[in-house]
Chains A and B, each alone.
Chain A
């Protein structure tokens, strides 16, 4: 049973198409993220679902009900904003009670449900405070309680964690995920942060320029990116100028610098296209300079950088082309010194190419 459905959803402002023909169906209780750089149309989609922006084309269904032309107050959704958007002139209690009062809940029932919602976000004792007296994380939890209290059919999040500092953001990710699981509430989550999207979602939709690039499980998005854009947006990619030298079936060969050739198992553009070649740091294997099989790209380590669990190496290849490669900091390749000769092994299914102007900036 699908809880939220888009059919051919599109939005244009004049000649500018910000959302192009997005279709998607979210199951009851599912957590779906829309991930993309700013300006990719993800927030516009969210605002269309909430009824704050009218779609130019297509339909939105909640359950089986077509809500495309309903005003926001009759859609029965909960929306959590990046800016928290609490009512500054009301207490925390009244903020949470707002949606319930609008639905005619009064008296003991109102009190019970406000307290229940505040307990869910562990703010039971904060009811009489003003939002201004709370920290950013607490304010966002009030906003979540406010959205949850009226038991919405679908919960929408618009970059809810972006204003929080890093550690709090990690805590809130786990807390949010647990809350969503326990309540079994259908959730659409919009973010530009791949970590958030991958760690919390059942499925992730990666968007670029108003187009849904790929909609799949986090594992598939990460390991089997459907387009060069997705490959370049997720993970920590090396991004190097190159050209498609030849095509061979679905894949082909890429040239970068003067002499370096890489094979790729999947390419989207014809031979001769200038592209950005994308290889994830963690997809590059480091080999010794003269192992049993002498395949791989010979190069020299120019910089080593330790970052806790991982070690990054900057490796210079022939012609001055540089790759960043990663190794586990407790593995055998953790202590290579600058100047060491290495070879890089890159599997063809880890090599992607994207048109230069599509470069996504996470």
Chain B
């Protein structure tokens, strides 16, 4: 067994790096988020205010972006879960000789640059992109579908990009479900479907939870893909924060939005882990 002191020593290097280069700078933004910003001149001296946070809650535009971001996170997580679970099940339980090729196929997209992959989706989803051209040529639709610069485009792109994370988490979790426990359910009268819903699914809950949290947090904080597939006007929180900082130079609003995003992420993680624990009897 590793003692408490040894444990602290083992995490000390990473802990110091995170504290020095992540936690401290993040906390240094906290005062910034409480300053009043006046366009053109910068911070108003000697004025401290929570106006930046109040605006996020009261301003219709900010609220819309927040709901959009949360909705996007939820949709992408669910889509990754629904598409990823069968694939992960096949990898974990299918023929052994399929396992390595399938894992490689899952990981392969991650070897390509994020910008390249997002551009790929632009080529596919644009008004004169491959998908619309094909559908129009086949006579299925007469005018191109709007697949970009909206929620649909972001969902498609982000689901594709974060699916591998979900699959890899689920493969580990499904492999950890003891086959004997499933066999026990079967001999007690469970059909294959009931074995899955009553045993396999709840026992893989830790992986479902971990994968969902990972995908959700990555999605709501994604910048590059929403920027490219959402265009300059269809914004999510990450792109909004980026613009506050880089375009409007309003660091106060930007940092207030950043803290709000972090708080939301932490809140969702806490809530979902509580729900999952209750559901899978892990509490």
Chain A interfacial positions (CB closer than 8 Å to B): 50-52, 71-75, 77-79, 81, 83, 85-90, 98-99, 102-103, 130, 143, 146-147, 150
Question: B186 in the interface, Cβ–Cβ < 8 Å?
Answer: yes
Of chain B, the residue at the smallest CB distance from A73 is B189
Known: A73-B191, A83-B178. Contact between A89 and B184, CB under 8 A?
Answer: no
The answer for the CA separation of A69 and B240 in the assembled complex, in Å, is: 62
Contact of A73 among B186, B203, B280, B282 (CB under 8 A): B186
Cβ of A98 and Cβ of B180 under 8 Å apart? no
B181 within 8 A of A: yes
CB contact under 8 A between A103 and B189, given known A89-B202, A89-B281, A90-B281: yes
Q: How large is the interface on B (under 10, 10 to 19, 20 to 34, 35 or more residues)?
A: 20 to 34
* Cα(A51)–Cα(B190), bound, Å: 13
Determine which of A77, A89, A90 lies in contact with B187 in the assembled complex, contact meaning CB atoms within 8 Å.
A77
Whether the pair B189, A85 counts as a contact (CB closer than 8 A) is no
- Cβ contact within 8 Å between B178 and A85: yes
* Contact string against A for B residues 169-209, beta-carbon threshold 8 Å, 1 for contact and 0 otherwise: 00000000010110111111111101000110011010000
CB neighbours (8 Å) of A52 from chain B are 183, 186-187
Q: Which residues of B contact A (CB under 8 A)?
A: 178, 180-181, 183-192, 194, 198-199, 202-203, 205, 280-282
The docked-state distance in angstroms from the alpha carbon of A269 to that of B191 is 50
B-side contacts of A87, CB under 8 Å:
181, 184-185, 199
25 A-B pairs, CB-CB below 8 angstroms? A50-B183, A50-B187, A51-B186, A52-B186, A52-B187, A71-B191, A71-B192, A72-B183, A72-B187, A73-B190, A73-B191, A75-B187, A86-B184, A87-B185, A87-B199, A88-B203, A88-B281, A89-B280, A89-B282, A98-B188, A98-B190, A99-B188, A130-B281, A146-B184, A147-B187
> A71 touches which one: B178, B185, B186, B203 (CB < 8 A)?
B186
**Contact residues in A for B281 (Cβ distance below 8 Å):** 88-90, 130
Q: Inside 8 A of A71's CB, which chain B residues have their CB?
A: 186, 191-192
Residues from chain A with Cβ under 8 Å of B186 in the complex: 51-52, 71-73
B187 to chain A: closest residue by CB: A79
Chain A residue nearest in CB terms to B195: A73
The chain B residue with its CB closest to the CB of A77 is B187
Q: How many Å lie between the Cα of A58 and that of B281 in the bound state? A: 42
Q: CB-nearest residue of chain B relative to A96?
A: B188
Q: Give bound CA distance, A165 to B198, whole Å.
A: 32
Nearest-neighbour CB distance to chain A for B199, whole angstroms, equals 7
Residues of B with C-beta under 8 A to A79: 183-184, 187
Contact indicator A98/B185 (Cβ below 8 Å): yes
Complex CA–CA separation, A144 to B226 (angstroms): 56
Which A residue's beta carbon lies closest to that of B180?
Answer: A85
CA A201 to CA B186, docked complex, whole Å:
27
> Which B residues are in CB contact (< 8 Å) with A78?
187
Minimum CB–CB distance from B203 to chain A (whole Å) comes to 6
For residue A98, which residues in chain B have a CB less than 8 angstroms away from its CB? 185, 188, 190, 198
Question: Which of B183, B189, B199, B282 has the most C-beta atoms of chain A within 10 angstroms of its own C-beta?
Answer: B189
Q: Please, how many angstroms separate the alpha-carbon atoms of A98 and B194 in the complex?
A: 11
Q: How far is the CA of A221 from the CA of B189 in the complex (A)?
A: 36
* CB-based nearest A residue for B199: A87
Per the bound structure, the CA–CA distance linking A77 and B187 in Å amounts to 6
